[in-house]
Structure 1
């Protein structure tokens, strides 16, 4: 004969009252410890923290936020976390937010508007105090505005969104590409292609415009066939190297959409027996850490991605503190860094 087992009772959640009783302090003192208040004596704090650990107390931050009508988190949504530029940018955001007592909730969309919708939906459920968004390609600003809602302050980074009146932090894309093209022109190149990026991306449009501007100023026309599209990844850039020379026969140099594309093109050139910097000149954009370590080192536009992340965090926190302030549009400066990939004499 078998005896039926009684169902196991569910363990009740540990409360602030349980912790207070366990270490002989008031509920208010436990709450102060949970909020990290400096008003609690170090010995008392240690006793409370030991009791929290002993009873395995789990802090319900969402409920605390509702009670205080505030949030201690900021959402950060990145379009391509595999790009070292955005990894550095995210690190800068997190450093700045952490210094102000906020926790960063990170989401990555992989350039997919559908994935972006799912990520935003999940993050909004956490009721963040604000959001930093680097939009996926083909994003609909009006749709994003409706999804996020009017109550969440948002800072858009790098790519413009029509229909969303949010603060915007941009890179000086057009000037950067113009500087890169002018540098190649100064070295005697006249057949200069623009390689990488997608034509419907605002950042790509601006960088193409800077390239065309410099070419026109030198009395040259930028042939539309010499604007070669590809995803801003090394693998695709390497794979599209043949297309570059098919569409731009006789090209001696290329302004690349970003460093990832430039590093991929160098791989593609090497596979074709063409020596970057010696037989073909090229430039990047971003100055990621690997740019200075490639062979040859990459001539590029330095934009200080970690500093951009800190700047983005500060702009968003300004908006959180002053929600009715005028919308801001800030352009981060860029600086040409000359190295061996352009074939220039580097001091």
Structure 2
């Protein structure tokens, strides 16, 4: 059997020696089916990983689904709004439709959202997993044959399992941001936001540590500040950066939402980004260029990543990718703007600023 072919009602009926009509009655919990028969069918459904596709006919064309599901961990994050727009554009170009869900970083909500979407028989799934996601639990709700592309996070109990994986170059991005702050004369550099259990946060912290180690700097544990990767929580947690001396003069932020929240929170701490405190983000959402001050960040091109994710799953459906798991790492680039002034306690002037002064 093809690894991407779905288990059908006919497969279950044949295995049980029953008619498709009887199996269908079991799926609809029809009380006319004998309990022993119902138990036998349920056991076979579980064994073969059958998923009931409610309303699938309305999303089918030529016998195959033309829907692709996208489930993200935080749709309120502008990165994922741009990412979803890219996914939708690529699917529309290929004649597919998008089914969209958001989990709000809840694994329980994720199970419920996936169960609902899978009932509509998507041809494939693009998933940015909630923190603490389990491959075993995901496999249980998605079934063994649904093609899945994980985006930018691995799973707690199995890395990427046997699924395809598209990730940002998280380690390199955080390293670039940290190296830029070091070049600006900063030595007390915090890593701000995200949770250490998240694989993407762990990779970004690793890049930050590598850059500091190469500069002969051991980061103070007090400079590793965790918070939910949202603007509001970052603003609330900003005072934690200055709870003791020595306080950092710069921060590598987990993402742009955190960086923008930190910029807002600095005001209540008597500091200003781009003047006496330097801030970098990660993502380069559209708002980053228009923040006050404009945000230095790691450009990931979220819309292009959405296009890339959709094209990868479509290639998987066409059989144009190597056997899974297939991993793709998307490059990132440093985008320098005004939020990263030179360290306030040094007369250091970066080469870029020196050239600007000469002009």
Q: Is 1:108 matched with 2:102? A: yes
Contact map agreement 2:59 2:120 (CA 8 A) in 1: no
Which 5+ residue runs of structure 2 have no aligned equivalent? Answer: 1-53, 343-351
Corresponding residue for 2:185? 188
Cα offset for 1:296? 0.5
Name the TM-score, length of structure 1 as normaliser: 0.80
CA contact 1:226–1:248 (8 Å) conserved in 2: no
Q: Say whether residues 1:122 and 2:120 are aligned partners.
A: no
Question: CA shift at 1:275, angstroms?
Answer: 1.1
Question: Which residue number in structure 2 is paired with residue 35 of structure 1?
Answer: none
Equivalent pair of 1:226/1:247 in contact (CA under 8 Å) = no
Equivalent residues of 1:193, 1:248 under 8 A apart: no
1:242 corresponds to 2:239: yes
Summarize deviations over 1:153-198 as a string: whole Å, max 9, x none. 1100010124321000000000000000000000110000100000
The residue aligned with 2:263 is 266
Residue 216 of structure 2 corresponds to which residue in structure 1?
219
- The alignment partner of 1:189 has SS state of coil
Aligned with residue 88 of structure 1, among 82, 88, 95: 82
Using the size of structure 2 for normalisation, the TM-score is 0.77
Larger Rg: 1
C-alpha offsets along residues 58-80 of structure 1, whole Å, 9 cap, x if unaligned?
Answer: xx973266684310100000110
One of 114, 118, 131 as aligned partner of 1:137 = 131
- Which consecutive aligned stretches of 4+ in structure 1 deviate over 3 angstroms post-superposition? 64-69, 344-347
The aligned residue for residue 338 of structure 1 is: 336
| 1:196-211 to 2 correspondences below 5 Å | 196-211=193-208
Match of 1:75 in 2: 69
Residue in 2 aligned with 1:313? 310
Contact 2:315 2:321 in 1 (8 A): no
- Any gaps of 5 or more consecutive residues in structure 1? 1-59
C-alpha RMSD of matched pairs (Å): 1.8
| Aligned counterparts of 1:243 and 1:89: Cα–Cα separation in 2 | 31
User: Closer, same or farther in 2 for the Cα pair 1:180/1:324, shift >3 Å?
Assistant: closer
State the number of aligned residues. 288
1:15-74 per-position Cα deviation (integer Å, ceiling 9, x unaligned): xxxxxxxxxxxxxxxxxxxxxxxxxxxxxxxxxxxxxxxxxxxxx973266684310100
The alpha carbon displacement at 1:281 in A equals 0.5
- Cα distance in 2, alignment partners of residues 232 and 67 from structure 1: 40
Q: How far apart are the structure 2 equivalents of 1:324 and 1:69?
A: 23
Corresponding residue SS for 2:235: helix
Q: Greater shift after overlay, 314-323 or 116-125?
A: 314-323
